[in-house]
Amino acid sequence: MNIKVAIVAASFLTVSNIQAAEWSGFAALDLRLFAEPAAFAEQNTSFADPSVLVQPEFRQGWNNGADRFTAIPFGRYDSLDSNRSHWDLREFNWLHKGDGWNLQAGVGRLFWGVTESRHLVDIVNQADFVENINSEEKLGQPMLNLNIPTSYGNFNLLYLPYFRERTFPAANGRVRFELPVDTDNPNLNGISHFHPDWAMRWSRTFGDWDVGIAHFSGVGREPRLAPYFPDGSPFPTTLIPTYDLINQTSLDVQGALGNWLLKLEAMTRSGQGNRFAALVAGAEYTQYGIFESSAELGLLMEYQYDGRDTSTPRQASDAPPTPADNDVFLGTRLSLNDEQNTQLLLGVTVDLNTQATVVSFEGSRRLDDVWRIELESRLFKNIPSTDILTGMSQDDYVQIRLARFF
Amino acid sequence: MNKSAYFALLLALTAPALHAETPEEKGYAIAKETDRRDSGFGDSSNESLFILRNAQGEESIREFSTRTLEVPGDGDKELGIFLKPADVNGTAVLTFSHGLKPDDQWLFLPELKRVKRISSVNKSGPFVGTEFAFEDIASWEVDKYKYKYLRDEVLDGNDCFVVENTPAYEYSGYARQIEWVDKTIYQPRKIEFYDRKNTLLKTLTFSDYQQYLDRYWRASRLDMVNHQNGKSTTLNRSNYRFRNGFQDSDFSESALKNVQ
């Protein structure tokens, strides 16, 4: 018996072909500069918010690449916001590629969706909201992630055994809501963090069109924010993040027709107030080789609709507030296609009901083989007191990032 | 088969014997022979190192690994993965080439784990800042060009056909190309690219040809010189492996998401 095991183990080792471990990742220095003084007394009064972040990546493959272990920790130290100083395991998983299927087990990240201005159908990973309000930075999610590519499309089945709460800025941080979110006292409505969530997605390409249909069942990643009134006080002091069991079904479609990319994300959700639907629909037009150069210029337009109940006064059971209920996003993307990979994206989102306006800018340029400089800015204009973003009205910022890649 | 079609076929079969073929027919026949000799490779993988040089002679590098799957009756499927520079490590491009029909192309961005569709219109744009355009590195298919044989010529001791290729696909940045096809191995030795104004834009030379599986020829070194901006790019291709047993599922959305 033992001999048999030894033979099996020996033969496994000889065929397993362990490849060299691979280290990569980046470290960066962020400098956020605010244009106005802080709006709230608890907030740090500094106009400059320097912070450092690091994200090393480790990969080890074996079995001729059929198996791979990945570890990607992330950490940030922020000088202003005590919640923004945090660390996370973005990835810590084992990927096995089988014959016609692959399975990822452990902590992972994935992205669903096609639109630029809002990520409506991207529901598996929790947003690392303290990192960026654009929901593009996300926490690692424990998962079993099975993919089966077939001639009828790709079938993606996910078992999500542990729920992670959203991160929010601390009371002393900037770019936060009018009331700080009390992340130490979440309300999970009695749901265990170990609630077995699941999701599935089918996606397929039909000629110029990519289509995805997905369903998620479990603890909704987007919390309601319930005002907390201490000891019968008429004035709330904090917001309690309140999580619910939801079911969300979504559709995402993208078509590539000549210079046009057509995009649609739509979803319907139950479990937070009345069932509601939301969508983002739009297009991107790209002109290549502008002004007889190698540069390309893209024009983006997207419409955001969200049918969740917005009547006032709000009920505790209402769906989480969203600024994207009836908004238009217009943007322009410039890629120089040069050696430095210079890219700029300028976007403006305007609420058609209130004219609340958020301007965002992202730019990046490679300095040499290992250094890159990035610029990010967000401006909050004309935000009415009824808008969830009203607390950020005085938080217009410009951020410079200097990143070193390994 | 009706009578006129029968005679047309008969004429086509006997035509070479009856009269000299036109320059267009000869150019097309050379392309067909190139295609015939290169078909049946199944799949391949290799590594690419681009060395970019600007007009001042400063260099930077791009490193890329490529897997190709031959698709009978259609263009190849290709998955390219960036290794360097470090800020794009793990970025991947999946391309389904077609003949005259626009290619399907997707980009995977590892920072966001996001797959983005790329417009197939962008043929003439530079590939990652090199002097190679997307259309220069795309999989070659016979139907993509109209051909015209020009002359025979000896180039660096190699007997060549000189053929004019005119892109038949939309959105090309070229009015035409002049290609030197080696008569022995039926592979290009040199291509001159003329821009839309029909001015010489770039010259590509192929060197260090190696034969694989006793049949398939691949150039290990490609040099692209841009005559208009003074920049150049050298592409070194190494580590060619054929018949890796790749399947369609290795060129799928989930394969693109799991390249790293």
Among residues A285, A251, A278, A281, the alpha carbon closest in space to that of A264 is found at: A281
Residue A312's pLDDT is: 56
Residue A15's pLDDT is: 46
Rounded Cα distance, A102 and A16, in Å: 18
CB contact under 8 Å between B124 and A289, yes or no, is yes
Nearest-Cα residue of chain B relative to residue A255? B117
Residue B260's pLDDT is: 74
Residue B39 C-alpha, separation from nearest chain A C-alpha, in angstroms: 24
Q: Strands, DSSP E only, in A18-152?
A: 22-34, 48-62, 67-78, 86-97, 102-108, 141-150
Contacts (Cβ under 8 Å, ≥6 apart) of A241:
A165, A166, A168, A181, A182, A183, A186, A187, A223, A224, A225
Rounded Cα distance, A363 and A365, in Å: 7
Q: Is the pLDDT of residue A320 over 90?
A: no
pLDDT tens per residue, range B85-96: 999 999 999 999
Residue B25's pLDDT is: 95
Among residues A246, A213, A211, A243, the alpha carbon closest in space to that of A226 is found at: A243
140-159 in chain A: CB under 8 A from chain B: 147, 149, 151, 154, 156
Q: Is the pLDDT of residue A6 over 60?
A: no
CB contact under 8 Å between A256 and B104, yes or no, is yes
For residue A202, is it within any domain? yes
CB contact under 8 Å between A288 and B122, yes or no, is yes
Among residues A360, A134, A7, A152, the alpha carbon closest in space to that of B114 is found at: A134
Residue A93's pLDDT is: 97
Q: Is the pLDDT of residue A12 over 70?
A: no
For residue A2, is it within any domain? no
Range of the domain at B152: 21-257
Residue A38's pLDDT is: 93
Q: What is the mean pLDDT of residues A241-254?
A: 96
For residue B8, is it within any domain? no
Number of domains in chain B: 1
For residue A353, is it within any domain? yes
CATH at residue A34: 2.40.160.10
Any chain B CB within 8 A of the CB of A296? Answer: yes
CB contact under 8 Å between A102 and B254, yes or no, is yes
Q: Which residues of A touch B79 (CB under 8 A)?
A: none
CB contact under 8 Å between A369 and B253, yes or no, is no
Q: What is the DSSP string of chain B?
A: --HHHHHHHHHHHHHHHHSPPPHHHHHHHHHHHHHHHHTT--EEEEEEEEEEE-TT--EEEEEEEEEEE--TTSPPEEEEEEEESGGGTT-EEEEE--SSSPPEEEEEETTTTEEEEE-TT-SSSBSTTSS-BHHHHSPP-GGGEEEEEEEEEEETTEEEEEEEEEE-STT-SEEEEEEEEETTT--EEEEEEEETTS-EEEEEEEEEEEEETTTEEEEEEEEEEETTT--EEEEEEEEEEE-----GGGGSHHHHHT--
Residue B223's pLDDT is: 98
Q: Which residues of B touch A338 (CB under 8 A)?
A: 129
Nearest-Cα residue of chain A relative to residue B257? A110
Among residues A281, A288, A302, the alpha carbon closest in space to that of A259 is found at: A288
Mean per-residue pLDDT of chain B: 90
Any chain B CB within 8 A of the CB of A254? Answer: yes
The pair of structure tokens assigned to A211 is 């289509």
Q: What is the mean pLDDT of residues A4-22?
A: 57
pLDDT tens per residue, range A163-217: 999 999 999 999 999 999 999 999 999 999 999 999 999 999 998 999 999 999 9
- Reported confidence tier of residue B3, pLDDT bands at 50, 70, 90: low
CA-CA-CA-CA torsion sign (B8, B9, B11, B16): positive
Residue A1's pLDDT is: 43
Give the ipTM of the model, two decimals please.
0.90
3-state secondary structure of A291: helix
Partner residue facing A154 (CB), from B118, B120, B252: B252
Q: Is the pLDDT of residue A142 over 60?
A: yes
Residue A386's pLDDT is: 87
- Reported confidence tier of residue B16, pLDDT bands at 50, 70, 90: low
Partner residue facing B85 (CB), from A100, A208, A369: A369
Share of chain B above pLDDT 70, in %: 93
Threshold 0.80, pTM exceeds = yes
Range of the domain at A160: 20-405
Q: Is the pLDDT of residue A8 over 50?
A: no
**Which of A208-212, A310-314, B128-132 is least confident?**
A310-314
CB contact under 8 Å between A405 and B87, yes or no, is yes
CB contact under 8 Å between A208 and B85, yes or no, is no
Residue B15's pLDDT is: 54
CB contact under 8 Å between B255 and A149, yes or no, is yes
Interface test with chain B among A95, A125, A147, by most B beta carbons within 10 Å: A147
Residue B221 C-alpha, separation from nearest chain A C-alpha, in angstroms: 21
Share of chain A above pLDDT 90, in %: 81
- Reported confidence tier of residue A317, pLDDT bands at 50, 70, 90: low
Mean per-residue pLDDT of chain A: 92
pLDDT tens per residue, range B78-120: 999 999 999 999 999 999 988 888 889 999 999 999 999 988 7
For residue A164, is it within any domain? yes
Q: Is the pLDDT of residue B11 over 70?
A: no
- Reported confidence tier of residue A10, pLDDT bands at 50, 70, 90: very low
Radius of gyration of chain B (CA): 20
Nearest-Cα residue of chain B relative to residue A288? B122
pLDDT tens per residue, range A14-52: 445 677 789 999 999 999 999 999 999 999 999 999 999
Count contacts between A and B (CB, < 8 Å): 104
Q: Which residues of B touch A136 (CB under 8 A)?
A: 112
For residue A55, is it within any domain? yes
pLDDT tens per residue, range B154-198: 999 999 999 999 999 988 999 999 999 999 999 999 999 999 999
For residue A254, is it within any domain? yes
- Reported confidence tier of residue B2, pLDDT bands at 50, 70, 90: low
Q: Is the pLDDT of residue A228 over 70?
A: yes
Q: Is the pLDDT of residue A11 over 50?
A: no
Number of domains in chain A: 1
For residue A13, is it within any domain? no
CATH at residue B79: 2.50.20.10
Share of chain B above pLDDT 90, in %: 73
